[in-house]
Structure 1
Amino acid sequence: MDKEEFRVFIKYCFLKGKNTVEEKAWLDAESPDIAPVKSTIKEWYAKFRHGEMSTEDGERSGGPKEVVTDKNMKKLDKIILNDRKVKLNEIADTLKIPTERVHRIIHKYLGM
């Protein structure tokens, strides 16, 4: 059973008037190895109480998770070849990514 199906079960129990404790007990009885944790059930109950009845993940803002791309590696190559004393902040500004992500790219770039 995937996350979407569990959310549908959570919504079903919410609409039937069950509380989170009853919901958790029911899900544990049905599929004890893969049932969601109680905090997840509480989170979805709160969303349903506030009128968000969709069981799908919402859109998230921000850039992609993966910043170590060929495009960024090529840009980094050019930046470092033009000025080997360039600072991390300058690289981050040029690539438009956080400084901590620049560390990851450099580690991959250096083969660490």
Structure 2
Amino acid sequence: MDKVEYRDVIKYLVLKGNTPTQIKHELDSVYGDSAPSFTTVKFWAAEFKRSCKSLGDDERSGHPKIATTDDNIAKVHQMVLDDRRIKVREIAEVKNRSKERICHILN
């Protein structure tokens, strides 16, 4: 089941007047192991009690993930094929990316 569908059920049960504990028990009895955790149920129950209308995730601030585009992955791959002894630090300097992001691309 999709997490938006779980949120829909949680919203319905909150509007019915159930507590997060009752909601978690209901979800466990219906969905078993695939039910969301109590922390998730408690969070969304509180959101819906504060009149949250959206079931989806809100946009978050921060930079978009541009470092792992298909183009960057192909370029890093080509750099490794050209020189198999190249260091992660050297790739990071050439591509102007962090070493962690380059390691993520290489893995």
Q: Say yes or no: TM over 0.5.
A: yes
For residues 40-94 of structure 1, what are the alpha-carbon distances to aligned partners after superposition, in whole Å with 9 as ceiling and x for unaligned? 1012123223332211223345216x8162x11444346xx7xx6873542352x
**Is this contact kept in 2: 1:20–1:38, CA < 8 A?**
yes
**Is this contact kept in 2: 1:68–1:104, CA < 8 A?**
no
Question: Which residue identity is paired with 1:99?
Answer: K
Question: Which residue identity is paired with 2:51?
Answer: G
2:28 is matched with which residue?
A: 28
Distance 1:28 1:90, change over 3 A: same
Distance 1:49 1:92, change over 3 A: farther
Corresponding position: 1:49 with 2:52: no
1:91 is matched with which residue?
A: 94
1:63 is matched with which residue?
A: 65
> When the two structures are superposed, what TM-score results if normalisation uses the length of structure 2?
0.68
Kindly state the Cα deviation for residue 7 of structure 1 after the two structures are TM-superposed: 0.8
Pairs aligned (count): 99
- RMSD in angstroms over aligned alpha carbons? 3.0
- The percent of aligned pairs where both chains have the same amino acid is 34
For 2:46 and 2:74, locate their aligned partners in 1 and report how far apart those are by CA, in whole Å: 45
Alignment of 1:76-87 (within 5 A): 76=76, 77=78, 87=90
Question: Which residue identity is paired with 1:72?
Answer: N
Distance 1:7 1:74, change over 3 A: closer
